[in-house]
Amino acid sequence: MKADDTKKRTEAFSTQKERCKMSSVPEGVRCENCVFYEPHAEHFGICRKYAPHPHMPHGGMERFSEIRWPNVRDKEWCGEFSKNVPKNWS
């Protein structure tokens, strides 16, 4: 491997590390605090942000077995977090 290639890879890795630091999650932004989270078991629940979607069983070769809401853990987070009920809901 050439020295230039090693330098480029090191710089790319450093940039990725900085991006990860910058994208830290704000305090309290977790599924368990989101209006769309519905708990179902200890530390687990479903996200009702969007309509249910087909779930493909492990292996991927079978047909879709069911339609369901996404399963999430209470400490997870996403960019769709909402602490309050959306304004367009009556």
State the DSSP H helix or E strand holding residue 7, giving kind and residue range, or none if neither: helix 3-22
Which pTM was predicted?
0.59
Q: Is residue 46 part of a domain?
A: yes
Q: Is residue 9 part of a domain?
A: no
With tokens 């940039």, the residue in question is: 15
**Where residue 22 falls among pLDDT bands split at 50, 70, 90?**
very low
Q: Is residue 62 part of a domain?
A: yes
pLDDT per position as a tens digit, 61-76: 566 567 889 999 999 9
Number of domains in the chain: 1
Strand 44-47 and strand 71-73: pairing? antiparallel
At 30 the pLDDT is 92
Q: Is residue 10 part of a domain?
A: no
Q: Is residue 35 part of a domain?
A: yes
Q: Is residue 7 part of a domain?
A: no
Q: Is residue 39 part of a domain?
A: yes
Q: Is residue 69 part of a domain?
A: yes
Range of the domain at 39: 24-84
Longest Cα pair distance anywhere in the chain, in angstroms? Answer: 63
pLDDT per position as a tens digit, 26-62: 888 999 999 999 999 999 999 999 999 887 766 655 6
